[in-house]
Amino acid sequence: MTPTLPALDIASLHDFYRKGGNVTDVIEAAYARIEEVNDPGIFIHLADKHKVLAEAKKLGAFDAAKPLFGIPFAVKDNINVAGMPTTAACPDFSYLPEKSATVVTLLQQAGALVIGKTNLDQFATGLVGVRSPYPIPKNAIESTLVPGGSSSGSAVATARGIVSFALGTDTAGSGRIPAGLNNIVGLKPSLGALSTTGVIPACRTLDCVSVFALTVDDAWRVFETVARPDETDAYSRPIPAKGFGSVPPVLTIGVPANADLRFFGDTAMEEAYGQALAALEKLGYRLVEIPFADFYTVANLLYEGAWVAERYAAVKDFFDAQEDKFHPVTRRIYGGAKMLSAADAFNGLYALQALKKKLAPVIASVDIFCVPTAPRHFTVAELEAEPLRENSRLGTYTNFVNLMDMCGVAVPTGTRRDGLPASVTLLATAGKDGLAATIARQLHVASGLTLGATRWRQPAPAQVEPSDVADDLIDLVVVGAHLSGMPLNHQLVELGGHFSRIARTSGDYRLYALAGTVPPKPGMVRVPQGQGAAIEVEIWRLSPAAFGQFVAAIPSPLGIGTVSLSDGTSAKGFLCEQIAIEAGGKDISSLGGWRAYCSAGEAVLA
């Protein structure tokens, strides 16, 4: 007996396939859902159903080696799919690519099936989703509201349960704003993590391909499938999919200071943000208020000299030849760029560099940030009245992110008192995609929300398995001052290290509080079998280069040796020379670890 068609999250679909379900049934259901939703603004081009069904049949029986086997997805129409026209929401710009974008090719190789190309703010310029000559996609939750952009069609297709996930792009928030306004997840990767080869650029130095999904697990599955360097992309860099599923036991979250919060009169959104922060505290995280005025100053740069000129440069020849073919608002923005000089561009770059330097210690003072995804919901009528002002306001908490080389995940957190969706975005420095996604996942699960605009319930969170892409990283056993929340932990973080897990050593070690160390540090030594204790430690992971740099800076009497763990494995980790113990070290082994000793209030005496 064929199992009943499930929800479109990846876990449910793969369970359906394992039980004998057919991919063709899922594809038929996706096209039936398009008819049922009846929103002509979502797709600019639909794939021929018969061709997609033929591709589905070729997949055969369920293949667990394909991480996206039989998963339907949509693609923003500024990303190439071979055989489908690319328009960037400008019909006169349309062309038929012979080759798919790198990310699309990787997804298809993983078993995913393209359903169609989605609508967008023309040339990915806008956060509203209404700057298109095609019909405007309807917000999936409330049709009078803007859907958000520029990846409007991708977000709505996902929220309405037509596809399991969709690709967008993100330069100023286009992969986050539509997610927040449509009750879905929007993963904005670190710059360079996903190839942009085959993507029409907006601001090439800031662009990234983003992922819309029903759950964080699904967004991460897509991300780890396509996060790899691409020699054909000059801005590609090796940022492996790592760190998902693990959070350090001590973690601080930066939030905008109350005086700096901006909701533009939307008290329901302000209340919902406060509730999300309360949920983070309930999960055990410590919140730290951060002055945000300088972040807003960075955000304002995005629509000044350098980056407006960069948008114009991306389509200069076409714009100069056919300016009248552009959407009126888009034409106004690009036309203004023609008046800018090279000096304007350099002045913008200088201003950004100064702000980066000023904000670096602020960003380093916390592990991650939590901001509202959008400051408020806007109606379509409000956007028609003030198209530029309201667009700018939507980007309050998004415009600075790519300029500051940060990654982020927008995640639903609840339903406002007026029934509209609430969302926050977890932001982190480049390479911490896994940490941002992990905390986003915790918030989504805690919310208990149904998925998108469907009535589908969230699936049980999957057990996260270590990813093969992280195999080149080196495990480091951390014992004392480098533990999460301790004074020297920043040294690991600054080298790109990420927390893996809490562990215990085998019972062959003794731990001592060393005398005269600043900050206070312990020393762990190996002793004969039967004379030691199991010590609580943390496992952090570093790249080989970072590991070498870290080890070279460790002062005597500490060093790195091989530490045996209670599960029978071993890893490189902190050990201490015996001479330091003999010089007055205090045996604290009975407490079971350095954190317990510090909690007892005795570390200051060491």
Residue 605 pLDDT exceeds 60: no
What is the predicted pLDDT for the residue at 338? 86
pLDDT band at 584 (very low <50, low <70, confident <90, very high): confident
Question: Which helix or strand (DSSP H or E) is residue 498 part of?
Answer: strand 498-504
Average pLDDT value for residue range 557-580: 95
> How confident is the model over 445-484, as pLDDT tens digits?
999 999 999 999 999 877 776 444 446 889 999 999 999 9
In angstroms, the CA 153 to CA 126 distance is 13
User: Would the pTM of this model clear 0.85, i.e. be above it?
Assistant: yes
Token couple for 275: 């509730």
Average pLDDT value for residue range 500-504: 95
> How confident is the model over 516-567, as pLDDT tens digits?
899 999 999 999 988 999 999 999 999 999 999 999 999 999 999 999 999 9
Average pLDDT value for residue range 61-72: 97
What is the predicted pLDDT for the residue at 602? 60
- pLDDT, mean over the chain: 95
> How confident is the model over 223-275, as pLDDT tens digits?
999 999 999 999 999 998 988 998 999 999 999 999 999 999 999 999 999 99
Establish how many alpha carbons lie within 13 A of residue 158's alpha carbon, considering only the half-sphere containing its beta carbon: 36
In angstroms, the CA 591 to CA 9 distance is 45
Q: Are residues 139 and 198 in the same domain?
A: yes
What is the predicted pLDDT for the residue at 3? 80
What is the predicted pLDDT for the residue at 606? 37
Residues whose CB is less than 8 angstroms from the CB of residue 466 and which lie 6 or more positions away in sequence, other chains included: none
What is the predicted pLDDT for the residue at 463? 75
Backbone phi and psi for residue 491, each to the nearest 5 degrees, phi listed first: -65, -35
Q: Are residues 15 and 130 in the same domain?
A: yes
Token couple for 544: 């080989």
Q: Are residues 224 and 268 in the same domain?
A: yes
What is the predicted pLDDT for the residue at 465? 60
Q: Are residues 427 and 557 in the same domain?
A: no
Answer yes or no: is 501 within a domain. Answer: yes
Answer yes or no: is 124 within a domain. Answer: yes
Q: Are residues 227 and 160 in the same domain?
A: yes
- Smallest CA-to-CA distance from 163 within 119, 106, 118 is with 118
pLDDT band at 601 (very low <50, low <70, confident <90, very high): confident
Residue 213: CATH number of its domain = 3.90.1300.10
State which of 408, 432, 447 marks the end of a domain.
447
Structural domain harbouring 525: 472-605
Q: How far is CA 81 from CA 116, 164, 490, in A?
A: 9, 18, 43
The answer to whether 128 and 391 are in contact (CB under 8 A) is yes
Q: Are residues 239 and 348 in the same domain?
A: yes
Q: Where are the alpha helices (DSSP H) in 41-150?
A: 49-59, 102-109
State which of 447, 463, 488 marks the end of a domain.
447
In angstroms, the CA 47 to CA 112 distance is 14
Q: What proportion of the chain, given as a percentage, has pLDDT over 90?
A: 89
Q: Are residues 414 and 529 in the same domain?
A: no
Residue 364 pLDDT exceeds 70: yes
> How confident is the model over 407-443, as pLDDT tens digits?
999 999 999 999 999 999 999 999 999 999 999 999 9
In angstroms, the CA 502 to CA 247 distance is 10
Longest dimension (CA), the chain: 83
pLDDT band at 1 (very low <50, low <70, confident <90, very high): low
Q: Are residues 430 and 493 in the same domain?
A: no
Average pLDDT value for residue range 289-299: 97
> How confident is the model over 134-160, as pLDDT tens digits?
999 999 999 999 999 999 999 999 999
Count of domains for the chain: 2
The DSSP secondary structure of 129-168, one letter per residue, reads S---SSPPPPPSS-TTB---SSSHHHHHHHHTTSSSEEEE
Answer yes or no: is 138 within a domain. Answer: yes
What is the predicted pLDDT for the residue at 397? 98
> How confident is the model over 78-125, as pLDDT tens digits?
999 999 999 999 999 999 999 999 999 999 999 999 999 999 999 999
Residue 579: CATH number of its domain = 3.10.490.10
Question: Which helix or strand (DSSP H or E) is residue 586 part of?
Answer: strand 586-587
What's the one-letter identity of residue 98? E
The answer to whether 210 and 189 are in contact (CB under 8 A) is yes
pLDDT band at 604 (very low <50, low <70, confident <90, very high): very low
Lowest mean pLDDT among 63-72, 164-173, 465-474, 538-547: 465-474
Q: Are residues 392 and 476 in the same domain?
A: no
Q: Are residues 421 and 558 in the same domain?
A: no
Burial class (CB in 10 A: 0-12, 13-18, 19+), 566: middle
Collapsing DSSP states into helix, strand and coil, what is residue 307?
A: helix
Average pLDDT value for residue range 10-20: 97
**Annotated active-site positions, please?**
76, 150, 174
What is the predicted pLDDT for the residue at 468? 41
Q: Are residues 521 and 582 in the same domain?
A: yes
- Smallest CA-to-CA distance from 315 within 326, 300, 301, 299 is with 326
Terminal CA-to-CA distance of the chain, rounded, Å?
69
